[in-house]
Amino acid sequence: MVNAVPLSWVLIVAAGLFSIGLFGALSRRNTVGILMGVELMLNAVNINLLAFWRYLQPADATGLVFALIVITVAAAEAAVGLAMVIAIYRTRLTINADEVDTLKG
Amino acid sequence: MNTLIMVIFFALAALILISAVMVVTVKNIIHAALWLTASFLGAAALYLLMEAEFLAVVQVLIYAGAISILILFAIMLTRHVTGEGVRQLYERWWVALVVAILLFGAVLVPNLLSEQANWDSQVAAAQTAPAPPAAECPPATVAGSCEIGVAFMRDYLLPFEVASVLLLVALVGAIVIAHEERARRRRVPTLAEEVALKRSIPVERDEDIEAALSPAGREGT
């Protein structure tokens, strides 16, 4: 992998994945779709972390530890986020982000 | 060998990116969740290619296993919103597209303009550098699960414990947020009741079924 693929190619793939996730998080009306976009962005960050670990610090476990912590936080975020989606749906019978506008002035 | 790895890398990159594009563009939200799983699995294969076996297994277990199932459950618990007829994007979705493309360009341009030599020398130095004398682990040039375990139990013990407390807090918080008093629970018709009602009365919308099933509606019929 290190000899065959330059580091910048992996970074470009991760940047593309992050941009796609950002587009999904900004443009979806469905709250679950927004969460999916956020998951894509976190995945891109993880690919970036692992690429830097593999190419620059392969003998050290620090990059792996960092990626594992990111996965843990992503799991916690998904659990709380989806619980909030279910709570919002129960009270308002919709989960479209533009229809949940009680805080809008 | 190098060509083979390059071909595999491009195939995985295409899988990841095409699945991600399908996630954000497809109309049916359940299909989007399935494409998301495909993207996660492609990322896991990319981790395997980068010799991070433990992270690949964790990716399959947590992302492709747990988070995808959680998202599918959330979609199935929230009805009326998965249909093809419901508009899925904002009217001004192109603003988001412009922002995303600008971000990608802002990341890409320095990458293309900068000189590769600097990074390449760093990468080469990192590959030939001797591994630090890791305590109990067999000598290796790439850190594996043994190094992860030693790191978590020694250098990163506090982040490890904080992560466990975070998971506990998220667990309790998710239960508190999603919990509902039994008395206030909405009556959800079972599939059999729904079919029977659809045969007996010409209902147009799902709300009519719920109205017919509520106590007031029952007295009326």
Lowest mean pLDDT among B2-11, B97-106, B206-215: B206-215
Residue B211 belongs to some domain of the structure = yes
Q: Do both B162 and B192 map to the same domain?
A: no
* Cβ atoms within 10 Å, residue B180: 12
Range of the domain at B63: 1-84
Q: Do both B175 and B189 map to the same domain?
A: no
Q: Do both B15 and B2 map to the same domain?
A: yes
Q: Do both B57 and B15 map to the same domain?
A: yes
Find the DSSP H helices in A1-105: 7-27, 31-56, 62-92
Residue B213 belongs to some domain of the structure = yes
CB A1 within 8 A of CB A55: no
Residue B130 belongs to some domain of the structure = no
A75–B167 CB contact, under 8 Å: yes
Kind and range of the H or E element at B42? helix B29-49
Residue that is last in its domain, among B44, B59, B84: B84
| Whether ipTM exceeds 0.90 | yes
Write the residue in B67, B97, B119 that is nearest to A7 by C-beta.
Answer: B119
Residues of B in contact with A36 (CB under 8 A): 23-24, 32-33, 36, 71
Q: Do both B66 and B14 map to the same domain?
A: yes
Q: Is the pLDDT of residue B190 over 50?
A: yes
The verdict on B38 touching A (C-beta cutoff 8 Å) is no
**Digit-coded pLDDT (tens) for A23-75:** 999 998 888 999 999 999 999 999 999 999 988 888 888 889 999 999 999 99
The residues, any chain, with a CB within 8 Å of residue B85's CB and separated by 6 or more, are: none
Q: At residue B81, what are phi and psi to the nearest 5 degrees?
A: -120, 0
Q: Is the pLDDT of residue B213 over 80?
A: no
Q: What is the pLDDT of residue B163?
A: 94
Residue predicted with more confidence, A47 or B192: A47
Q: What is the pLDDT of residue B115?
A: 61
Residues of A in contact with B87 (CB under 8 A): 29
The pLDDT-based confidence of B78 (bands split at 50, 70, 90) is: confident
Residue B118 belongs to some domain of the structure = no
Q: Is the pLDDT of residue B183 over 90?
A: no
Q: What is the CATH number of the domain that holds B58?
A: 1.20.120.1200
Q: What are the C-alpha distances in Å from B119 to residues A44, B45, B123?
A: 21, 25, 6
Instruction: Give A102→chain B minimum CA distance, Å.
Output: 18
CB A31 within 8 A of CB A85: yes
Residue B126 belongs to some domain of the structure = no
A93–B40 CB contact, under 8 Å: no
The pLDDT-based confidence of B218 (bands split at 50, 70, 90) is: very low
CB A23 within 8 A of CB B23: no
Q: Do both B24 and B62 map to the same domain?
A: yes
Q: What is the pLDDT of residue B220?
A: 43
**Digit-coded pLDDT (tens) for B9-26:** 999 999 999 999 999 998
Q: What is the pLDDT of residue B193?
A: 77
The residues, any chain, with a CB within 8 Å of residue A60's CB and separated by 6 or more, are: A53, B132, B143, B147
| Mean residue pLDDT across chain B | 81
B160: nearest CA partner in chain A = A69
**Which of A17, A34, A45 should one mutate to test binding to chain B, selecting the residue with the greatest count of B CBs within 10 A?**
A17
Kind and range of the H or E element at B12? helix B2-25
A62: nearest CA partner in chain B = B151
User: Mean per-residue pLDDT for A69-88?
Assistant: 92
DSSP-derived letter for residue A28 is B
- Reduced DSSP (H G I as helix, E B as strand, rest coil) percent helix, strand, coil of chain B, to 5: 70, 0, 30
Instruction: Give A12→chain B minimum CA distance, Å.
Output: 7
Tell me how many domains chain B contains: 3
The pLDDT-based confidence of B85 (bands split at 50, 70, 90) is: low
Residues of B in contact with A79 (CB under 8 A): 70, 170-171, 174
Residue that is last in its domain, among B41, B69, B84: B84
Side-chain half-sphere of B96: how many Cα atoms within 13 Å?
20
Q: Do both B21 and B72 map to the same domain?
A: yes
User: Mean per-residue pLDDT for A7-26?
Assistant: 92
Residue B104 belongs to some domain of the structure = no
DSSP-derived letter for residue B139 is P
A61–B77 CB contact, under 8 Å: no
Q: Is the pLDDT of residue A105 over 90?
A: no
The verdict on B44 touching A (C-beta cutoff 8 Å) is no
Q: What is the pLDDT of residue B219?
A: 46
A65–B74 CB contact, under 8 Å: no
Residues of A in contact with B123 (CB under 8 A): 2, 7, 55-56
CA A24, B85, A83, B73 dihedral sign is negative
Q: Is the pLDDT of residue B81 over 60?
A: no
Is residue A6 classed as helix, strand or coil in its secondary structure?
coil
**Digit-coded pLDDT (tens) for B121-170:** 777 777 776 666 556 777 777 778 888 888 888 889 999 999 999 999 99
**Which of B5, B15, B22, B63 should one mutate to test binding to chain A, selecting the residue with the greatest count of A CBs within 10 A?**
B63
What CATH code would you report for A7-92? 1.10.287.3510
**Digit-coded pLDDT (tens) for B93-112:** 888 899 999 998 888 887 77
Q: Do both B169 and B199 map to the same domain?
A: no
The token pair that represents B194 in the structure block: 């729904």
Q: Do both B9 and B63 map to the same domain?
A: yes
Q: Do both B5 and B77 map to the same domain?
A: yes
Residue B155 belongs to some domain of the structure = yes
Write the residue in A55, A65, A73 that is nearest to B126 by C-beta.
Answer: A55
Q: At residue A54, what are phi and psi to the nearest 5 degrees?
A: -70, -35
